[in-house]
Structure 1
Amino acid sequence: MTLQDGDANGACGLAYYAMFYAARAALIVAGEHRAAMAKTHSGLIAAFNQRFVQTGFVTAEHGRNFALESSRRLLAAYQGDVISDEAAAEAIDHATAFIAAVREWTVRRPGGEA
């Protein structure tokens, strides 16, 4: 289920879930266990944005891209829309940058290590 296999919808979903679990892990590391276990995807996105974007730990662009990829995942998975290869490639790029930003935060935070 990858873009190379011709499954743009699947690749988009996997990119989003990589972001989702990176955000959940970051919240747990930050001690925000309750927020990390939000009952909805939008709740987790909101908690991540409040804890990391609004405080400047990650850029607003990462917050916007997290929300964008959540929307794309919904379109692909539940509304039957076909995601273009270009949009899926962009989702992968967004996920890669998002995960790198979360990793950078874990290194920079007090007590963080590479």
Structure 2
Amino acid sequence: MEGIDPTAAPSGTGCADCEAMDPAGWWFHLRRCAGCGRVGCCDSSPNQHASAHAAATGHRFVRSFEPGEEWFWDYGERVMYESGPALAAPEHRPLEQGVPGPTARVPGDWPEHLHR
């Protein structure tokens, strides 16, 4: 698919933009840009960095960066695909990383901060 680079490695194990915040942020679920590998937080997360990255760069496709999920989302067409091309490893966040995460940064009232 045009706009997907299967060789682009993930930018890290968590949302790159949440990690760069001061103080660092937290996320609900993670998404991986299929164009460049940047890992961002989902639209339910407080900061919605994955969709912000797509809007800023024009990179249309993300893949879930959650264990056991292989779906892709096309921000341009607003379409979900159950699967797609294999991407460079790793395929998901570390299993020991909590949801939401990272555990030490998640506030006790975290459900109140989610976008629905």
**Higher RCO, 1 vs 2 (CA within 8 Å, ≥6 residues apart):** 1
Choose 1 or 2 for highest CA Rg.
Answer: 1
Structure ranking higher in strand proportion: 2
